[in-house]
Amino acid sequence: MADLTSARVDSYTWAVRLFRTRSLATAACRAGHVKVNGVKAKAAQALHIGDEVRVRSDGFDRVLVVSRLVVKRVGATVAAECYVDNTPPPPPREEVALVPMRDRGAGRPTKRERREIEELRGH
């Protein structure tokens, strides 16, 4: 395999299994969910070894540093060798659970319940 000097951002994020399809990777770039070295990246932006890639998914950022370039999709073990994962640990469940949750099947909140929820959220 020839050594690559650069790769497209959407192709790389798909190849290292951050996205299931390349079209999802391209859509994430268009939506501004992918940043390279702190700047929003377009899908065709060149990516080089040592670049920091931030991918926003499920409300959290994954922070990766490119250590090897690939453009074809590879297995999970090979994909893990292509980057250094600097993602911070997720917040404790206590911090995430601050948002009040309604019981499943309880229906729409009443006006009083809605006001209480808004008060808790600080709106």
Q: What is the pLDDT of residues 99-113, one digit of tens each?
A: 567 788 888 888 998
For residue 28, being part of any structural domain is answered with yes
For residue 81, being part of any structural domain is answered with yes
For residue 107, being part of any structural domain is answered with no
CA angle 80, 56, 7 (to 5 degrees): 55
pLDDT score, position 84 = 95
Q: Which has the closest alpha carbon to 100: 79, 118, 78?
A: 118
pLDDT score, position 95 = 57
Count of the separate structural domains present in the chain:
1
- Determine the Cα–Cα distance for residues 41 and 55; give it in Å rounded to an integer: 10
- Determine the Cα–Cα distance for residues 1 and 72; give it in Å rounded to an integer: 11
Q: What is the mean pLDDT of residues 90-101?
A: 64
Which amino acid does the sequence have at 101?
Answer: M
Q: What is the pLDDT of residues 19-77, one digit of tens each?
A: 999 999 999 999 999 999 999 999 999 999 999 999 998 778 999 999 999 999 999 99
* 94 or 24, greater pLDDT: 24
- pLDDT over 80 at 10, yes or no: yes
- Contact call for residues 73 and 17 (beta carbons, < 8 A): yes
For residue 38, being part of any structural domain is answered with yes
Domain ranges, residue 28: 7-89
* 119 or 63, greater pLDDT: 63
CATH of the domain at 50: 3.10.290.10
